[in-house]
Structure 1
Amino acid sequence: MKNSRPSVMRPHGLPESASHPVVTPLSPSVVYASETPDALDDQYEGRVHGYTYSREGHPNADVIARRLDDMEGATGGVVTGSGMAAVSAVLLGLLKTGDHVIGGDQLYGRSLRLMKEDLPRLGIETSLANPGDVAAMRAAIRPETRMILVEAVSNPTLAVADIAGIAALCREHDLLMVVDNTFTTPRAFRPFEHGADIVIHSVTKLLAGHSDVMLGYVVAKDPALNDRMRVFCVTTGMTGSPFDCWLAERGLLSFDLRFDRAEATAARLADCLAALPGVKRVIYPNRTDHPDHARAADLLQGRGCNMVSFELNGGRDAANAFTRAAEGLSFAPTLGDVGTTLSHPASSSHRALTADHRARLGLHEGFFRVSVGLEDPDALCAIFVQAVAAATS
Structure 2
Amino acid sequence: MKKPTSIVRRTPVPASSSTPVVTPLMPSVVYRSETPDALDAQYEGQASGYTYAREGHPNADVLAAKIDMLEGAEGGLITGSGMAAVTAVMMGLLKAGDHVLGGNQLYGRCLRMMAEELPRLGIATSLADPTDAAAMKAAIRPETRLILIEAVSNPTLRIADLDAIAEIAKEAGALLVVDNTFTTPRALKPFDHGADIVIHSVTKLLAGHSDVTLGYVATRDPELRAQIAVTAITLGLTPSPFDCWLAERGLHSFELRFDRAQSNAARLADALAAHPAVAHVLYPGRADHPDHASVAPLFGGQGGNMVSFVLKGGRAEANALTKAAPQIAFAPTLGDVATTLSHPASSSHRALTPGGREALGITEGFFRVSVGIEDPDLLIEEFTAALDAVAG
Fold conserved between structures, TM > 0.5: yes
Match of 2:347 in 1: 348
Please give the TM-score of this superposition, normalised by the length of structure 2.
Answer: 0.98
Q: CA deviation at 1:172?
A: 1.1
Match of 1:160 in 2: 159
* 1:205-284 map, 5 Å: 205-284=204-283
Match of 1:196 in 2: 195
Q: CA deviation at 1:6?
A: 5.0
SS of the residue aligned with 1:178?
A: strand
Q: Per-residue displacement from partner, 1:236-267 (whole Å, max 9, x unpaired)?
A: 00010100000000000000000000000000
SS of the residue aligned with 2:110?
A: helix
Q: Per-residue displacement from partner, 1:277-333 (whole Å, max 9, x unpaired)?
A: 010000000100000000122211110110000000011111000000113110000
Distance 1:147 1:5 in 2: 55
Distance 1:391 1:19 in 2: 60
Q: CA deviation at 1:17?
A: 2.3
Q: How much identity, in percent, do the aligned residues show?
A: 67
Match of 1:334 in 2: 333
Does residue 292 in structure 1 map to residue 291 in structure 2? Answer: yes
* 1:311-326 map, 5 Å: 311-326=310-325
SS of the residue aligned with 2:309?
A: strand
Distance 2:373 2:294 in 1: 27
**One-letter amino acid of the structure 1 residue matched with residue 233 of structure 2:** V
Distance 1:266 1:337 in 2: 13
Contact kept, 8 Å, 1:327 with 1:383, in 2: the verdict is no
Distance 1:259 1:366 in 2: 27
Contact kept, 8 Å, 1:314 with 1:392, in 2: the verdict is no
Distance 1:390 1:297 in 2: 37
- Assess, with a 3 A threshold, how the Cα gap between structure 1 residues 7 and 132 changes in structure 2: closer, same or farther: same
Contact kept, 8 Å, 2:105 with 2:153, in 1: the verdict is yes
Q: CA deviation at 1:131?
A: 0.2
Q: CA deviation at 1:68?
A: 0.8
Q: CA deviation at 1:392?
A: 1.6
**One-letter amino acid of the structure 1 residue matched with residue 123 of structure 2:** I
Distance 1:104 1:180 in 2: 11
* 1:1-393 map, 5 Å: 6=5, 10-393=9-392
Q: CA deviation at 1:93?
A: 1.2
Q: CA deviation at 1:176?
A: 0.5
Q: CA deviation at 1:11?
A: 2.4
Contact kept, 8 Å, 1:183 with 1:305, in 2: the verdict is yes
Distance 1:8 1:50 in 2: 27
**One-letter amino acid of the structure 2 residue matched with residue 264 of structure 1:** S
Distance 1:98 1:15 in 2: 55
SS of the residue aligned with 2:264?
A: helix
**One-letter amino acid of the structure 1 residue matched with residue 249 of structure 2:** R
**One-letter amino acid of the structure 1 residue matched with residue 323 of structure 2:** R
Q: Per-residue displacement from partner, 1:332-391 (whole Å, max 9, x unpaired)?
A: 000011100001000000000000010000000000000000110000000000111111
Contact kept, 8 Å, 1:100 with 1:124, in 2: the verdict is yes
Where does the alignment leave 5 or more consecutive residues of structure 1 unmatched?
Answer: none
**One-letter amino acid of the structure 2 residue matched with residue 130 of structure 1:** D
Tell me whether 297-306 or 360-369 shows the greater mean CA deviation.
297-306
**One-letter amino acid of the structure 2 residue matched with residue 318 of structure 1:** E
Q: CA deviation at 1:10?
A: 4.6
Contact kept, 8 Å, 2:4 with 2:11, in 1: the verdict is no
Distance 2:85 2:7 in 1: 39
Distance 1:285 1:365 in 2: 22
**One-letter amino acid of the structure 1 residue matched with residue 205 of structure 2:** L
Q: Cα RMSD (Å) of the superposition?
A: 1.3
**One-letter amino acid of the structure 2 residue matched with residue 242 of structure 1:** P
Q: CA deviation at 1:9?
A: 6.1
Q: Per-residue displacement from partner, 1:85-121 (whole Å, max 9, x unpaired)?
A: 0011111111000000100000000000000110001
Please give the TM-score of this superposition, normalised by the length of structure 1.
Answer: 0.98
Distance 1:392 1:365 in 2: 16
Q: CA deviation at 1:13?
A: 2.1
Q: CA deviation at 1:132?
A: 0.7
Distance 2:317 2:351 in 1: 22
Q: Per-residue displacement from partner, 1:132-167 (whole Å, max 9, x unpaired)?
A: 111111111111101110000000000000001101
Distance 2:369 2:351 in 1: 20
Distance 2:7 2:365 in 1: 64
